[in-house]
Every structure is written in C-alpha cells, then in structure tokens.
A and B are shown apart, each in its own frame.
Chain A
C-alpha cells in the first residue's frame, strides 16, 4: 500500500497530483472550458473522498458527527475528527483513507476520460 502524505500541506496535494496524473491520458487541455473542467474534477475528487470516508465509518461515528453538525459546535466538530479522522495519529483512520485513495487512483483515469468526453460533447458550440 502506498504511504501517502497526510500532513496539512501534503493532504491537498494528494488530490491535485492524482488528477494531474490522470490528465496524462487526455488530449492536451488547451480548449476553452478545460480549466473549468479540471477544477470541477478537483471538487468531485475531494468531495468523493469525504463521502467515501464517511461511508466507510461505523453508523455510530456518523450519527455522532451528524449530531455535532446540528449543534453547530466547532470545537466538538474538530474533536470528532480527532476521534475518527486523525490520519496522522491513528493508523486505522489512515488505513481507511489510504484504501479509498488507492481505489480512486485506479478509477480516476477512466472516469476522467468519460467526463472529459461528456464535457466536450456538450460544449462544442
């Protein structure tokens, strides 16, 4: 399994690097709308990670998170992440995050190609 960098500066770079690698399979991104396409992919990839991460946690953990979100307590929310999403300090959290990212890396090139074709078929005009 790859040892990804989950430090504050390394974490966002995982996603940008992953996307940039996947673009190597695409035609040159020099057409109008291609920068928007890339940025939309960044939203998609990052959001997907969190969706999958939460989905990978126990129902109990998610219920706790939802309660905190409803309570609008920032400190409690950060504490929840200390409990369930401490990628640097908790090997289990890191293991789940790494597994999701590994899976995303495998699937991303094909999905990106599909999205790229879809975008260009709707933006030819």
Chain B
C-alpha cells in the first residue's frame, strides 16, 4: 500500500495502520473535497473551535441556498436547526476519534468533515439538497474561487435592446432551456429558439425593466444574448470569506458546462436508485476531466491506449529482465566497481614489466595475480612471448569487462524503463538502482550498497517492485485484450458504462488518481461511499415522508401511530422490493419499452418519460402493456394501480400518438373501428379536436395489432421480472418467513447473529436494570428507539427525526422553498 498523503488534507496513511481505517480516512477527504467544497462551496477552517466552525458552516450553507433559490420559506426554522445540528456533530467527534472496527483512528480533521457533512445532509430538506448538489454545482471556473453557475446576472446595456435604459437580467440556468436549447456556437439557431419563449419559460428574470415575465422574448434581445461572446457575470453566490468579485466568462462556456453536466447526470442516473452517488460522480467528472474516459465510448480510447502502452512497457521490462538473467555473469565475481578499477590499472601494470627480470608477476589487485615464470632471465625473444602473454591476460580481462558492460547496458535499459514508468526522471543513476535493496526506488541510501549482490537477486527485486506491479498479470494476454478493445471502439462495438456501473467506475478512478489508493483500495472506497450514500438517502427520504405524515398524529392514540408507521413502512418497503407501486411500475414499463427517462427538476413528478420522443411502436407497446398491468391480465402478473399519476402518463402517451402518429394509428386501427376515409382525413388534419380525440381513444381501447403481441409479451416479462426479483432478494436476505405486516417487517428465522450471542455479552445481558431517574434521559432519543423498534429497517432514521420532534413539540422539519422559475 502506498501511503502518499492526500494533497487535499492531512496525511492519513502515515497515521493509520488499519487498512479499512486508511480507506475510510480517504473517503472522508473525498467527502470534504467533492461534497463540501465543490458541491456546496464551503470554505471552512476545520480545526477552528467548534462554535465558530458550526456558525460559519451553517451561515455559508444558508447563504448559498438563499442566493441560489431566491429565498427559502421557513428560513428561520432552517437557520435555527442547522447550526445546532452541526454543533452536535462536532460534539460527537470530541474524544471519539474512531470509526472502523473499534480499533483504528481517523484524524480529527477528517472526522469533523465527515460528521459535519452528515449533519448537513440530515438537516436539509432533500429537495433543497438535491437542488444544491445537482443544479448548483460549483464548477471551478476560476480556481481557487469557485463560481456558481446556477444563476448569474447580465447587464443589458445595448441601446437597441435596452431601449428604455440599462437593465439587468438574471439567468437561472437550472431551467432546462439552457441545456436543451441549440448550442450557442450556432447563435442564429439559439436566438431563434429563445425568441419564441416567454422570459419565465427561459428562466430569465428582469431587474428594473418594463418587460413582464410572461412576455415573449423580443427578437433583438434573443439575438443579443446569443451573440454575447463574453459577459461579465456578477457573482450571486458570494459566500462569507470568499472574494467579492465578478468573473468574465462566455455564455457559450456556461452552456457547454451545463450541457456537459446534464449529460453526465443522465448517464450516471440511468437505471440507478443511488441519486446521491450519481451526483457525487457527476461532480467528480466536472472537476477532473481526465476521469471521463472510464465511462467508455469515444473518450475511452485514449485511456485504453494508455493502458496498452503501459502493458507493453511492462511486458518489455519483464523480457529484458529475463534476458539479463540469461547473460553469463563473470566468473571472478568481482563487483562492477572492482572491474572498473582493474581496467584502469591495466596500462600501469603493463608498464611494470621489466625486460631482463627473472619472471614477471603482475598484481592487478582483488586477487588477480598473473605470473610469468619462464625459469630465467627474459631475453628479447622471451620478452616478445611475455608481451603476448600479457596481452592475452589483458584480452581476458577485457572480455570480462565486456561482460560487465553488456550487463551494464542491459541494466541501464531496464533502469530507463523503470524510471519512465515511475515518472521520476531524476533517478537515472544506475548505481542507485543497482545498489538498492529495499522495495522502493526512490530515496535510496547508498550506504546500503551490497558488494556481493548477485544479478539474480537484483532481478528478483526488480520483478517484485510493488510500484511497478510487473507481476500478477499476463501482459501478453492483457495486450491482446486491450488491442481488441481499441478495435471494438473503432468499430463502435464498445458499450459505454451507465448507471451504477458508471458511478462506481468514476468514483473508484477518482480515489485511485487523486487520493493515492491502489486499484483494490479504490474499489473498496468507492463501494463504501456508494453503499452509505444509498442507505443514508433511503433513511432520509423516509424521514421526510414520515415526519410529514406522523407528526400531527404522534400524540394521539396508538392506532393512529401504528397505522401510519405500518402503512408508510409498507409503502416504503413495497417500493424497494416489490416494484408494484405506480411510480416504480411506470418506470419499469417505460424501461421495458425503451423509453428515454430523465430527471427534470422543474417538474413536480420528478420522473420524466420522453413519450414525445418515442417511436410509434414504443408508444403503442407501452400503452397496451400498461393496460395489461392495470387489468392484471395475461401476461401481467401484478396489478398496476390506476392512480392519477398513471392516468396522466396514459394521457401523455395518447397525446404523443395523436400529435405525431395519427396516420399510423389510423392505418392500424381505422378499419377495425369503421373509420371512413373522410373521417380519417379529418382526424389527420386536426387530431386534437375533441371528437377526433374520442375516436382515437376508442381505437386505442381495442386489441393491439397482431404484430404487437410479442412486443407486449416481452415488455411485460421484463416488468414481471423486476417485480419478482425484488421479492426474491427480500426473501433470500430476510428469510422465507419474512413479510410486511402491521408494525413493520417481521423477520423469518435468519438473523445476522447466527447463534445466540448472550455468551458474547453475557456480562451485560440480563443485567440491565430499570433506569433510576428517567428525567436524565433524552425523551426524544428514547422515543426514537421506541418507535424504531416497531418498524426497524429503513424507517429507523425517519422515526428518529420524527420522534425527536414529536416529543420536543417541534414542527415538521419539512422546509418548503420557492422555486426560481
């Protein structure tokens, strides 16, 4: 594991020895960076005294919400609840710097960030939180000063446009027009789309202008906005402690970023229940552009190419190491330094040979002693022999040196490859490489030099260098796989990641790239964060639902309390596992029919199915599949409740068919309904006429064309499958005896603790005595536990908030708000 500290926070790895603690510390840093700093734009001194920190955090949050939403209803309630919540969160941190397994420690700074983020999440109305995290994302336009793109002000000082004098407009970019309009690099198309709308429809508010919000946008104003290359945007999100400035940014850039964010949101939310994780991953993608390639599609090729080069490089290094291993190692076993010395001595030693002496001894040192003993005085002839002898010795010595040089060349090549991979160009000294005996390349201490190190030992060390990660993968196989991926990308065969898989990939890559996690640690961190976000959100959603419904009743009779708990829990549980609620079933039917579904904040229903953009076969299949489920007739296995939401969706389908596909409908059903040619022409001409609408409805009431039976069958099968899957999961996890009943979930026989645990806590079990003075206890907490025990599961959080408020006599926490548009 690498213990490189996060750039963004206090080093964690150095302080921790528990792997999960290390990972949790990094998730705390990630939460701090992406959620608090980037999404919410908080600028906090985490180690300030608790009171100051709580006051600053709540002030900044409040101001951000207030400015981006044009005010909050029940502001006082939020103002008085946020600060105490954060204070309470900070109190929890004091003297309790731990999280995982009860043994490890997360530094106080990280703990504070983690707890405060939870407190903020729990204090805010979820609609506001969604709005802040999805649509008020603080893009880092001009680091380090984040700029909120959710709305900005433009001064209109063009004479033609501002005929009655200068005025300002405030553009609310949360309005979908700014995402869906033609791109601003085609100003004519953009202006054309804008001029047909009212100011309100385009999310534009006027300050000090004679124009009314319901007026259509004048052509000259539309053109003026479309051609504004650079506008000076007045910050409307200035937070305490941040600079009071304006920024120049082109409207085109704003739109580009909004479209980009919208696209990420759509990809990341596709088919996922984990909206918090989707928002988090979306922010990562907006903040760190290099991570987008993990999503696949066109952006993937560069990432795959990079991996391919890396795999090839590793393959080559391993090949080099093998080659080095096969080299003959000089038999003298001298070190490189010794051989270098021998070479330098050769000339000097040769010069020592004296003609006429009785024999010659050349001592090269290091035990290399060459004797020429010919039994007498060396004469000229003998001298010639002696010289030949010496030359032979020199050749031998040079051959030995050459072996070293070959080894040296190979080692240098390895070293270069190694250094290229570790991105540390300064460490190219072979001696340091060669003498290194630890498990890292950097920071080598030369006193660790081992003269007797063998080439095989060295090569083993290189193979096992953890930073290189040379082993554990078949690089040739990996190269083949990656080359195929590139071919598939080029051929358009690669499917881009979406939904949960995309969220996981993005978050894991972020941990790997920006929090120095190994790939496996990054996977774990992403898993932890996503799981917690899903469960926290589920708990928080239930909190709001129950708080709204139950608070007025909680002081009433048991039956009222029990009924609300049971009904809410039942609906909540059904929504999770059964898929038989109208909302979930509509989504499943649309999914099964291939209808595009989007999240549009301005629409109260939240879920938006793009019936208008669907094809005729998709619409017809969806309509008849809905009918089958409403009537619960074959192949539907579950009933779709005919709620207002369902009726509205069916009306929208009919409107889409009427508006765009009346001719096809007449083709398929006209004859069966005895529609005359004259009537058909009249319907085509004006399908929205009430009598024509009635005829169209009658056509749809009939049986679908024969060719649609299989389509409807397939769609219904998918919807049935999702319904059945939920129950299978619930029963597999909770036991076959599990059921939803009044008072909450009733478990089957399977519990987390397989055997009675009384032995484990025998010292305290049965030893609980009645609390002597209940006045000491927090009644809110106690009520929490009481009600939580009734319902269990996802309701616990909701009941906690509910009971806390009920007992203390507070109002519902639900904080309504005013919308901008």
Identify the A interface with B (CB < 8 A): 1-3, 5-13, 15-17, 19-21, 23-24, 26, 28-48, 50-52, 54-58, 61, 71-74, 77-90, 92-93, 95-96, 99-100, 102-105, 107-108, 111, 115, 118-119, 122-123, 125
**Number of interface residues, chain B, beta carbon within 8 A:** 106
Chain B residue at minimal CB-CB distance from A1 = B102
Can you pick out 18 interface pairs between chain A and chain B where the beta carbons lie within 8 Å of each other? A8-B778, A11-B796, A15-B796, A16-B539, A20-B527, A38-B534, A39-B534, A39-B535, A45-B752, A71-B558, A82-B777, A96-B768, A99-B763, A103-B753, A104-B752, A104-B753, A107-B753, A119-B729
Give Cα A50 to B576, complex, Å: 22
Given contacts A24-B20, A78-B782, A89-B771, contact A50 B96 (CB under 8 A): no
Given contacts A48-B751, A78-B786, A86-B771, contact A40 B730 (CB under 8 A): yes
Report how many A-B pairs have Cβ atoms within 8 Å.
296
Given contacts A30-B501, A43-B792, A44-B733, contact A99 B761 (CB under 8 A): yes
Q: Is B99 close to A, CB under 8 A?
A: yes
Contact between A42 and B523, CB atoms less than 8 A apart: no
Contact between A36 and B807, CB atoms less than 8 A apart: no
In the complex, what's the smallest C-beta–C-beta distance from B790 to chain A, in angstroms? Answer: 8
Instruction: Specify which of A19, A42, A79 lies most central, judged by the most chain B CB atoms within 10 Å of its CB.
Output: A42
Q: Is B769 close to A, CB under 8 A?
A: yes
Chain B residue at minimal CB-CB distance from A60 = B770
Contact between B767 and A92, CB atoms less than 8 A apart: yes
Contact between A108 and B752, CB atoms less than 8 A apart: yes
Give Cα A110 to B821, complex, Å: 51
Given contacts A24-B527, A36-B726, A43-B793, contact A84 B770 (CB under 8 A): yes
Contact between A6 and B781, CB atoms less than 8 A apart: yes
Contact between B531 and A29, CB atoms less than 8 A apart: yes
Instruction: Specify which of A74, A84, A99 lies most central, judged by the most chain B CB atoms within 10 Å of its CB.
Output: A74
Q: Is B538 close to A, CB under 8 A?
A: yes
Contact between B765 and A21, CB atoms less than 8 A apart: no
In the complex, what's the smallest C-beta–C-beta distance from A44 to chain B, in angstroms? Answer: 6
Give Cα A20 to B499, complex, Å: 19
Give Cα A122 to B523, complex, Å: 25
Instruction: Specify which of A9, A90, A95 lies most central, judged by the most chain B CB atoms within 10 Å of its CB.
Output: A9
Contact between B725 and A56, CB atoms less than 8 A apart: no
Give Cα A108 to B122, complex, Å: 26
In the complex, what's the smallest C-beta–C-beta distance from A21 to chain B, in angstroms? Answer: 6
Q: Is B92 close to A, CB under 8 A?
A: yes
Q: Which of B748-785 contact A (CB under 8 A)?
A: 750-754, 756-758, 760-761, 763-771, 774, 776-785
Q: Is B559 close to A, CB under 8 A?
A: yes
Q: Is B532 close to A, CB under 8 A?
A: yes
Q: Which of B723-761 contact A (CB under 8 A)?
A: 725-726, 728-730, 732-734, 744-745, 747, 750-754, 756-758, 760-761
Contact between B761 and A100, CB atoms less than 8 A apart: yes
- B487-531 vs A, Cβ < 8 Å mask (1 yes, 0 no): 000000000000111011000100000000000000110111111
Contact between A87 and B785, CB atoms less than 8 A apart: yes
User: Which residues of A sit under 8 angstroms from B539, Cβ to Cβ?
Assistant: 12, 16, 42
- B708-727 vs A, Cβ < 8 Å mask (1 yes, 0 no): 00000000000001100110
Give Cα A16 to B757, complex, Å: 21
Give Cα A55 to B786, complex, Å: 16
Contact between B774 and A83, CB atoms less than 8 A apart: yes
In the complex, what's the smallest C-beta–C-beta distance from B281 to chain A, in angstroms? Answer: 12
In the complex, what's the smallest C-beta–C-beta distance from A95 to chain B, in angstroms? Answer: 4
Contact between A42 and B538, CB atoms less than 8 A apart: yes
User: Which residues of B sit under 8 angstroms from A39, Cβ to Cβ?
Assistant: 534-535, 538, 576-577, 793-794
Contact between B752 and A122, CB atoms less than 8 A apart: no
Complex A-B, nearest 8 residue pairs according to Cβ-Cβ distance, in ascending order: A99-B761, A72-B558, A2-B102, A43-B793, A89-B777, A40-B733, A20-B532, A82-B774
